[in-house]
Amino acid sequence: MQVNQPPTEAATPEWRLSGAPVPYLQAVAEMEERAAGIAAGRANELVWLLEHPPLYTAGTSAKAADLLDPDFLPVFRTGRGGQYTYHGPGQRLAYVMLDLRRHGLSARDFARGLEEWAIRVLAAFHVAGERRTGRVGIWVPDRDDPQREAKIAAIGVRVTRGVTYHGLSINLDPDLGHYKGINPCGLAQDAKLGVTSLATLGVRATMRDLDAALMETFDEVFPA
């Protein structure tokens, strides 16, 4: 099931929710088409909430050595920033297509805004997400070892003709074992870093709950 909010002048951005996992290349093609439409002034901005089937993506900074098991899951090269990451069921992706010129934002401002958005969403579930200097994404203390930190939200952005796409992922309850085929975002280089999810932290929430928090906090960070 896919739910679209009809575009109107007052409804900026449009919101789209895809119920079934969306194949990665299909999502990229749709984002590219929408971003081109936004840049040309013939389409509304869009926030697309979705999941993917289990897969890895390699960003523009991905290193071959960080693909630990090339045969474990499908791997897709992508134009977003960042290194290797995992996507799959139980992880909410928020692909955000905004005209940076309209909002008076730089690409760096936008990336910071995505991080702030994730922090506010996590706060709705009483989870204190934090930034870390030199590390992209949002981090929380490891539930089992306070000396370790774990990434719960990832950021990956591309900007074309002043319009953003790709965006934010938040781990609700994905299979964290699927991360074993990659060194996600270079984390394996530091034994004190890992990945986690809201479910691992003991948060009992549904994807609908997470979507509601995403929708409720978006305008706080990216006002129309």
Q: Which amino acids are annotated catalytic? A: 185
- Report CA 197 to chain centroid distance, whole Å: 13
3 state DSSP class of 15: strand
Peptide bond preceding 74: is omega within 30 degrees of 0, i.e. cis?
no
| Residue the block writes with tokens 């940076």 | 100
- Pairing state of beta strands 135-141 and 149-160? antiparallel
Whether 157 contacts 167, CB under 8 Å: yes
Is the torsion defined by CA of 78, 82, 86, 91 positive or negative?
negative
Sign of CA dihedral 216, 91, 87, 63: positive
Residue closest to 185 by CA, chosen among 117, 123, 138, 146 = 138
Per-position DSSP letters for 132-151, written without gaps between them: ETTEEEEEEE-SS-TTSEEE
